[in-house]
Structure 1
Amino acid sequence: MHLLKVIFTGLLTCLILLPGSAQSGVRWLSFSQLADSLKVSPRPVFVDFYADWCTACVRMDRRAFRHPEVVRLLNDRYYAVRMDVESPDTIVFGGQVFVNERLGRVNPIHQIPLLMAGRRGKPFSLPAMVLLDEQFSATARYFQYLSAEQLIEILSD
């Protein structure tokens, strides 16, 4: 009986810890971590801008970013960066300081997503994803829900 209790407790612990620790499986970086990584080993960058209130962003997190092939491609080929567009954080990146000048207003979008995923003449919208090459130049921008299959196609090119 004692052995069964130990096994059951071990299995229960694994079931509790695995989903929380694995979450999406993508090794998301912050912009400060990205700066350090790019210095050591340049590679393409995938940036996902999101907000907690964005239903398409939440759906992508629950579906597309948990698909094993999406996880593999992002972790093997890219530095994957995720940023809450309403972040109040001051971020130093590329020798520049970026802040959220719009805190306290409606739609307080941080400077970084406005610069990287803003579109001339159109309001900022989510979800927003940006692909960058090794020189940190934007090669593609996406402003809609992308399924796992669509992401796989984009990330495989």
Structure 2
Amino acid sequence: MKSEKTINLLVGWLLYPLGDLVGQVLLGKFEPERILVMTLVGGLLYRFEIPAWFRMLDSICIAGRPLTWIGRTIGAMLYFNPLWIARHVFFIYLATHHFQLGTDFSGALAVILNCLVVGLKSFITNLPISVVGNLIIQTKLPVQYRFAGSATLSAIFAVSYAIEYLLFR
């Protein structure tokens, strides 16, 4: 259990911001505020909620039997859905716009709707890779390493989210 906590700590604080940094560099950018926000999100939010989701998936039984690899893969896909991606994109937006949502309600609503659209388009675009990646994570990795596997996949997606953020908005 101690090694799982150490892995989750390192993954949350380092791997998520590193993936986002790679995405920034590929786009010819470097935004310290964004790195800070992704570090905080990874270390304070993702490192707790994602492992908890994977543990919950392992605890689900249907007719007295644990979820199969298909069930766990679908469960992972349900978690990393368009809303999750939209929330991640929203964090990117906040970091790149100095935490400003606009001057009025309609401006804030436009930002939120844009993040939802980007989240949906990114989800659809990344679906084939996401299915295969989550299948590997759910079937080949023990539960204590799934967050690290998921974060590695997410770091890869962070590159695509950075690009899709520009393409799909």
Q: What is the TM-score normalised by the length of structure 1? A: 0.28
Greater strand share, structure number: 1
Q: What is the TM-score normalised by the length of structure 2? A: 0.27
Higher alpha-carbon Rg: 1
Query: Which gives a bigger RCO, structure 1 or 2 (Cα 8 Å, sep 6+)?
Result: 2
